[in-house]
Amino acid sequence: MRYRETGELHLDFHGATNTTINYIAKNFGEEALHEIFSAVGQKVYKSIHEKLKQGDASELIEHWQYFFSREKGVFQIKETPEAIILEVSECPAVRQLLKLGLTPSPLFCTQTILVNEALCADTPFESKTEITGCGKCRQTITKRGVK
């Protein structure tokens, strides 16, 4: 895995992400979020994206497992022959916003939706991110063409 941080966590960064998403959307439109999160998905996470292009989702699964565990999220990863499903019951990012007394931006989860889309673009995979509640979502990665 390309990035594997250890040591202390500064969870308040999720608050800065929330502020930034609101600021960018208000001043530059939601299309700007597409540009920024596409760069995150395909340039920052180049290693995951390149593996997905080769049909290999192992680094994405490892990334989810490592960072959701590190931030003490409540989640489960299911792998089936057709799909990889990340079921998040308690998102650590949303939990931290609420702890800080911040209102999650209506666009807060676009970070997940757009990064997943960017990771899967031009690969044999496609992503579907369903927001199932406050701090809850289901992220599904399937091989294109599989129903």
The residues that touch another protein, with contacts defined as CB under 8 A, are: 2-3, 5, 7-17, 19-20, 23-24, 27-28, 32, 35-36, 39-40, 43-47, 67-68, 70-71, 73, 88, 91-93, 96, 100, 111-112, 115
- CA-nearest of 30, 44, 60 to 120 is 60
CB of 93 to another protein, least distance (A): 5
CB of 87 to another protein, least distance (A): 13
Q: Which is nearer to another protein, 13 or 146 (CB)?
A: 13
HEC secondary structure over 123-144: CCEEEEEEEEECCEEEEEEEEC
Q: Which is nearer to another protein, 23 or 89 (CB)?
A: 23
Angle at 7 between CA 90 and CA 75, to 5 degrees: 20
What is the rounded distance in angstroms from the CA atom of residue 84 to the CA atom of residue 58?
10
Please state, in angstroms and as integers, the Cα–Cα distance from residue 44 to each residue in 5, 6, 62, following that order. 14, 18, 16
CB of 43 to another protein, least distance (A): 4
Q: Which is nearer to another protein, 60 or 92 (CB)?
A: 92
Q: Which is nearer to another protein, 58 or 69 (CB)?
A: 69
- Contact at 8 Å (CB) between 61 and 79? yes
User: Pairing between strand 83-90 and 125-133?
Assistant: unpaired
CB of 129 to another protein, least distance (A): 11
Angle at 128 between CA 143 and CA 54, to 5 degrees: 35
Q: Which is nearer to another protein, 24 or 57 (CB)?
A: 24
CB of 73 to another protein, least distance (A): 8
